[in-house]
Amino acid sequence: MNERDIDKLSTEFSTPISIKEGKKEGWRVRAKLAVRGLPGSPQIGLFKPGTHDVEDLVDCPDHNEAINKALRVIRDHSFVPYNETTLSGDLRYVQLTVSRQTKTVQLVLVSNGMGKCDNLAKELEKAHPWHSIWINVQEGSTNTIFGKKWIHKSGPKYLEEELLGLPFYFHPACFIQAHLDLYEEILRDIRLLAGEGFITELYAGVGAISRTLDRPANLVEYNPYAHESFKVADPPPYLEFITGKSEDHTDLFRDILIVDPPRKGLDPKILKAIADSSLKQILYLSCNPESLKRDVEALGWKLDQAIGYHLFPNTDHIELLFSLRK
């Protein structure tokens, strides 16, 4: 969504939408990259649009420098990249996540079957000061990056990260925003916009929003590794974390609802529950303006403030935060 689309959305809802920018180089603290090519000349990067051909990313200016250094180390080692046609090879994907505090990388090697990346993990551990190394096992013909089996090879189990002065911990299976510097600005704005009352947070991840609000709340998140990571931070007792699907816990709605759903937007069950609830305010953070617009129009609530965030610099993507009142 470019600035013209933002202006159109602003006109439709009769509410000005300001856009906040962050740093435009070295901002990305997480990268999930495909590994293809040949032994000795791997291609590690993103799929070109509409294909499964990999655009090799060497010293990408978007990446935190710790990621670029880590990728140079990986390229210096011997392994067999994955071949989608023959389903052969050892290494399918890599995930690299940087702790801004320690400048070290939590590395995940996505292995094409059990044992395929064990030697590579041992060699890499000796070659670089990683935060930690994990292996994820994924087998067969699938476009899904991760399999269900996670193997912790070395280093701390959770990546530590600080947001607004609070410690957070991330299992590699947990979602983390790629542009954390600007995400902290989102957290500050939510803190300013949230009215009085009890919080229900859906799609809560590791609980960054509710923990930085520092008030009683119920958090709902489907990913069990998020609950595991949440508990490591020793959260206050007035925050209750519930592992489950957000649409199955609409009975928790009381005063304020905070949602950060996937691109498809809110489940119809949630929309119906909102309509039947006594909620006073919704704070809706969206990565997809189209589903956001659809959901807001379906609810019929008033938009009283809107802010956009350029979370992916050098693209047209704008993350939107809407404050809605009944």
Give yes or no: 117 in active site: no
Write out the E strands in 138-255.
149-154, 159-163, 166-170, 199-202, 217-221, 239-243
Supply the pLDDT for residue 208: 97
Q: Are 260 and 285 in contact (CB under 8 A)?
A: yes
pLDDT score for 6: 83
Which residues of the chain fall short of a pLDDT of 50? none
Choose, from 60, 117, 174, 287, the residue flagged as catalytic.
287
Query: Using an 8 Å Cβ cutoff, are 234 and 212 in contact?
Result: no
Distance CA 280, CA 97 (A): 37
Q: Structure pTM?
A: 0.94
pLDDT for 2 equals 64
Q: What is the DSSP string of 219-239?
A: EEES-HHHHHHHHHT---TTE
CA-wise closest residue to 216 among 233, 236, 244 = 236
What's the burial of 293, exposed, middle or buried (CB within 10 Å: 0-12/13-18/19+)? Answer: middle
Sorted by where each starts, the structural domains of the chain and their CATH numbers stand as 3-22+179-325 (3.40.50.150), 30-162 (2.40.50.1070)
Question: What's the confidence (pLDDT) of residue 232?
Answer: 97
Q: Give the span between the Cα atoms of 250 and 215, in whole angstroms.
A: 19
Give the angle subtended at the CA of 269 by the CAs of 266 and 271, to the nearest 5°. 55
Give residue 1's pLDDT. 63
Q: What per-residue confidence (pLDDT) applies to 263?
A: 92
Burial of 283 (C-beta count, 10 Å sphere; 0-12/13-18/19+)? buried
Helix (H) or strand (E) holding 110: strand 105-111
